[in-house]
Chain A
Amino acid sequence: LAKTTQPISMDSYEGQEVNITCSHNNIATNDYITWYQQFPSQGPRFIIQGYKTKVTNEVASLFIPADRKSSTLSLPRVSLSDTAVYYCLVWGTNAGKSTFGDGTTLTVKP
């Protein structure tokens, strides 16, 4: 399983765009990249998933460069309720066996 590296913490203000980058230098050809959000005392919640280039859904965008050695989660116009830990997960054959990294604690301030 590819090892992932994320910033430990980030601060932002309401209404700003937040970009969280995850490094995964050892990503394998068939690996996917998934991002999860976790609030205190709750289980992780799926945000977005991609393989290459750009993926967008109603809550976020995921940018993956051609070499796929990193990925960036983009959260547009964050609010206080986006304060959470964000995990980048790189996985291939068995996503359920993947281990989440230490995550990035995002704090959104008023």
Chain B
Amino acid sequence: NAGVMQNPRHLVRRRGQEARLRCSPMKGHSHVYWYRQLPEEGLKFMVYLQKENIIDESGMPKERFSAEFPKEGPSILRIQQVVRGDSAAYFCASSFRAWDRSTNTEAFFGQGTRLTVV
């Protein structure tokens, strides 16, 4: 897990506020993946980004959620007008190349941001 930095580690928001979750990938990694994990469940894919581009956002809710990975700086997962159901742990992973079998690449996960909506 060392190398992929997520902040904050814990985030508390009131219903209706915005939440911004940051992910700094490992040095040299240009591929970032965001996942959401509800209590007692596995991680569910949300979005895959490669520097300045969203490659696949099929796992992300159509409303209130957005993600970006600018040329400079961390990847940001933004949740607008949060609701209690958004409370979860959000993990990001990064890889040097696209994380698929053709590249035999491993992805490394951060320690997650635990979002609590009150």
Contacts and interface: CB of A to CB of B under 8 A. Distances in A.
Contact of B93 (A32, A91, A96): A96
B42 interface: yes
Describe A's contact surface by its main secondary structure.
loop
Nearest to B48: A96
Contacts of A41: 111-112, 114
A63 interface: no
Given A94-B56, A97-B48, A45 B109 contact: yes
Interface string A26-58: 000010100000000111111000000000000
B1 A87 contact: no
A46 B94 CA distance: 13
Contacts, number: 72
Contact of A103 (B1, B42, B107, B108): B42
B1 A42 contact: yes
A97 B101 contact: no
A59 interface: no
Which of A91, A92, A94 has the most B CB atoms < 10 Å from its CB?
A94
A46 B107 CA distance: 8
Contacts of B48: 94, 96-97
A102 B107 contact: no
B42 A93 contact: no
Given A41-B112, A97-B56, A99-B45, 19 more contacts: A43-B4, A43-B109, A43-B111, A44-B91, A46-B106, A46-B107, A87-B43, A91-B100, A94-B48, A94-B56, A95-B100, A96-B33, A96-B93, A96-B99, A97-B45, A97-B48, A97-B59, A99-B44, A100-B35
Interface of A: 30, 32, 41-46, 87, 91-103
